[in-house]
Structure 1
Amino acid sequence: MQLSKLSGSILSGLHCFLIAADHMSFTRAAETLCLTQSAVSHKIKNLEEILDVQLFIRQHRKLVLTDEGQRLKQVLASNFGDIIHEIRDLKSAELSGDLTISVPPTFAQTWLVPRLASFIDKYPNVRIHLRTRNDLVDFQTESYDCAIYFGNGEYPNLAVDKLLEERMFPVCSHEYAIKYQLYHQPENLIHCLLLHDAAPWARAGRNDEWQFWAQHFKVELPDNGCTFDRADLAIKAATTGMGVAMARQSFVAEQLASSRLVSPFDMTVNSAHSYYVVCRKDMQTSPKINAFKNWLFSEIDS
């Protein structure tokens, strides 16, 4: 019998035959395919009728491949293997190539980079290009796939997903807290040197974080300070006993746990800003960008 094309029933029968030939058992093939034993037997009998070829010799509690069945098994094993390999290549091709991301410097150093190896392990064909900056990306003229922003979430013409909220509180070394009698006495901040992240978010003022915290708790601040263009530098300066820095919770967990930093008073406030993942709206269905976003959220939930 000549076959003009491979119909769905023939392809299904060929797959069923290959599984049965691998196991040399209709019962085990049925378990693999989540079918009944009679359904497997029917599919193979139907295939034999279509091909006009006997594929199995059915003996008591035993199957034996005919010569024709053996030839068909070899051809199918090779070709089905090629198909599976090609499908895997197609799927991995969706998650391969370059992924260029803009990230705030301290968030990259303290939160993202320590976790990034797990993304690479999961998607080894994606080449990450991480660039740190505090200002916003111009997606029309700059070749970024996505960005992480710390801000208010209002980014017109972009796809925006809220990633992580932040809490803020002052930190310093234990020695500095003792020297200036800071424990449970925030009024003594007036005598301290404040360490400022001069660019906590795009277009922020150099002391905006400290002012936001102080207004919330009605604390008077000194008119002084040392500014840094990265939050991690202000935090590092605090660990050396230079002064008091305004910390974000995600930045200082390790230093607090190791007592390199202390929070001298229990006065924590939710930041007015959060972390967001953004990209162009026409790129929000990109497999690479979605894989990166889903991985970020899984890291936060873990």
Structure 2
Amino acid sequence: MGDQQIFMANMHVFNIAARTLSFTLAAQELNMSQSAVSHRMKKLEQQLGFKLFIRKTRQLALTPEGERLKITVSLSFDSIYTELNDITHDELSGELYIGTSNGFASYWLMPRLARFQQRYPNLDIRLQAQNNAYDFDYEPIDVAIYYLESPPTNLHYEKILNEQRMPLCTAEYAQQLNLEQHGIEGLRNATFIHRSQSQAWQQWLDIIGSDINPNLKKYSFNHSDLYMKAALNSLGIVMGRYQFAQKALAEKTLINPLPAIDATASYYLVCRKNTDQRPKYKAFRQWLLNEINNDI
């Protein structure tokens, strides 16, 4: 076996040993002896020129260098196995890792995922929700949906959905402010519901041409679920997104008593470059576009 083949074989053993943090468990998984695993790891450390493991009595830990290498190696092998699975299986199966924001996951994606499950019953969804951008180099994400003002040039992207910003409240709260008669001026007595650190209310008021200060009387929340529930409980009026509010508007649990404006950001479907032809990505993309078209 050539040096490169030996190196790659040792990297595979490292991937298992780093995941299990046990040469014994790695040996069982690889059908090797414990001493063979230990020997390969020592050889790999010699090849790399730095330590990968901290060897203690009955305990194994990764060095900082080992931790960094584990992330890269794990993603690399996962990518290889995913590619092989796509090549060798005509039927869509396995796992699809989707990343998006908490709000989009809760209000747009979750109500529709049952239809995706019915269409692809053998494809398991792993949905990860967070409001920060995903690092495709270090996180096991196959596809993400971002809400952005400009697309990410380091990734493959496609704009899939526009957005509108609109004031939302209960009919009872609108009546309390007498918005039907007073219009925007009725907001002078309103409690403004804000997303933490968001300037959405001020931007809307500037475009509408109002000098009302949305910060004089306000509630602030750091999560989309909270600020939408605050509006549903008549705590005030929220600057919401139409895509998040479709169900509430249809059921009339919230109303849009004042003008909507086009948002400066849009929703983008993104993935690593050169992975947009993978069957799982293409299946999810087509299902997503069908759902969007059905909403129009």
State the TM-score, normalizing by the size of structure 1. Answer: 0.64
Residues in 2 aligned to 1:159 and 1:297: alpha-carbon distance in whole angstroms: 16
Please show how residues 120-269 of structure 1 align to structure 2 within 5 Å.
120-183=117-180, 184-198=182-196, 206-219=197-210, 220-223=212-215, 224-265=217-258, 267-269=259-261
What residue is the counterpart of 2:14 in the other structure? none
Post-superposition shift, 1:295? Answer: 0.7
Post-superposition shift, 1:225? Answer: 2.0
Post-superposition shift, 1:234? Answer: 1.0
Post-superposition shift, 1:196? Answer: 1.3
Residues in 1 aligned to 2:160 and 2:98: alpha-carbon distance in whole angstroms: 15
Please show how residues 30-69 of structure 1 align to structure 2 within 5 Å.
none
Point out where structure 2 has 5 or more consecutive residues left out of the alignment: 1-87
The amino acid of 2:193's aligned partner reads L
Post-superposition shift, 1:165? Answer: 0.5
Residues in 2 aligned to 1:142 and 1:295: alpha-carbon distance in whole angstroms: 24
Q: Does 1:294 align with 2:286?
A: yes
Identity of aligned residues (%): 37
Residues in 1 aligned to 2:186 and 2:122: alpha-carbon distance in whole angstroms: 54
Residues in 1 aligned to 2:90 and 2:142: alpha-carbon distance in whole angstroms: 20
Alignment: residue pair count:
205
Counterpart among 94, 99, 111 of residue 97 in structure 1 = 94
Post-superposition shift, 1:300? Answer: 0.8
The amino acid of 1:211's aligned partner reads Q
Post-superposition shift, 1:138? Answer: 0.7
Residues in 1 aligned to 2:125 and 2:250: alpha-carbon distance in whole angstroms: 30
SS in 1 for 2:205: helix
Please show how residues 23-34 of structure 1 align to structure 2 within 5 Å.
none
Post-superposition shift, 1:214? Answer: 1.2
Counterpart among 235, 260, 271 of residue 263 in structure 2 = 271
Residues in 2 aligned to 1:139 and 1:212: alpha-carbon distance in whole angstroms: 32
CA contact (8 A) 2:151 2:268 kept: no
The amino acid of 2:207's aligned partner reads H
CA contact (8 A) 1:148 1:278 kept: yes
Post-superposition shift, 1:250? Answer: 1.6
- Which structure has the bigger radius of gyration? 1
CA contact (8 A) 2:105 2:129 kept: yes
CA contact (8 A) 1:101 1:145 kept: yes
Instruction: Give CA deviations for 1:265-297 in whole Å, capped at 9, x if unaligned.
Output: 2x1111111111111103222111111111100
Point out where structure 1 has 5 or more consecutive residues left out of the alignment: 1-88, 199-205
Residues in 2 aligned to 1:221 and 1:251: alpha-carbon distance in whole angstroms: 25
Residues in 2 aligned to 1:287 and 1:186: alpha-carbon distance in whole angstroms: 49
Post-superposition shift, 1:99? Answer: 0.8
Moved more, 250-259 or 288-297: 250-259
